[in-house]
Amino acid sequence: EIVLTQSPGTLSLSPGERVTLSCRASQSVTNSYLAWYQQKPGQAPRLLIHGVSTRATGIPDRFSGSGSGTDFTLTISRLEPEDFAVYYCQQYANSWTFGQGTKVEIK
Amino acid sequence: QVQLQESGPGLLKPSDTLSLICAVSGYSITNNYYWGWVRQPPGKGLEWIGTIHHSGTTYYNPSLNSRVTMSVDTSKNQFSLQLTSVTASDTALYYCTRQYDGSGSHPAVLGCWGQGTLVTVSS
């Protein structure tokens, strides 16, 4: 099983700031099989990015994904008020597992 | 627009069998996408449970494989989850999901989610 470790656990930021979230895998994630989800309180998760860097339909271009092998990043170029949420990475190269999440909160 | 609605008992006793149904509306379950279940313990992260295609192909989380069964009822446009021998650690919000319908999608990429149903296991 591939274990995904997300860091940091919590980020306290202000609207307008740039955000970089990390997702590190215990072994290589092949075929770019990595996705990112956003979850707001009381809501189901929402797909943001799949295949490391492909935005899902309707996702603003301020969200971008990058990385390869064992290190992956989700970047939000400029935080909007609606972006404060928990973000999860998911790998689907070897079974399917999620990271533990990073909470982006308002400073 | 596809909508997913989970239903099932909200309270179970240890050793019971959890049975949930996901009713699909606005989309035929026999179209060529995968359907599945993800759970989230209160205040914690996400755990993939399993995925099924209407053809009967299934993929289960290895850690739950011995206790999980999923099935599809095409006549009712719904799919179901059974999890046997539940314990308190199975207490969670259970979501049903559908594969993302975008270009290049993989069955594991979850583009559509139900609102979730809370299942509590307690004696």
**B103: pLDDT strictly greater than 90:** no
Name residue B52's beta-bridge partners.
B35, B58
Query: Over pLDDT 90: what percentage of chain B?
Result: 92
CA pair distance B82, B76, nearest whole angstrom: 17
Q: Say which amino acid occupies B25.
A: S
Mean pLDDT computed over A19-23: 97
Tokens representing residue B72 in the block: 């599809």
Start-end of H helices in A36-101? none
How close B43 comes to chain A (CA, Å)? Answer: 10
The structure tokens listed for A40 are 């707001």
Q: Say if CB A52 and CB A65 are below 8 A apart.
A: yes
H/E element, B41: none
Q: Which residues of B touch A46 (CB under 8 A)?
A: 113
- A96/B48 touch (CB, cutoff 8 Å), yes or no: yes
B57-73 residues labelled b (16+ CB within 10 A) or e (exposed): ebbbbeebeebbbbebe
Task: Tokens for A38, please give them.
Answer: 């956003």
| Phi and psi torsions of A58, nearest 5° | 85, 0
**B28-68 confidence digits (pLDDT tens):** 999 989 999 999 999 999 999 999 999 999 999 999 999 99
Give the mutation candidate from A39, A54, A96 for the B interface (greatest B CB count, under 10 A).
A96
Q: Report pLDDT digits (tens) over A57-105.
A: 999 999 999 999 999 999 999 999 999 999 999 999 999 999 999 999 9
Q: Which residues of A touch B106 (CB under 8 A)?
A: 33, 50-51, 92
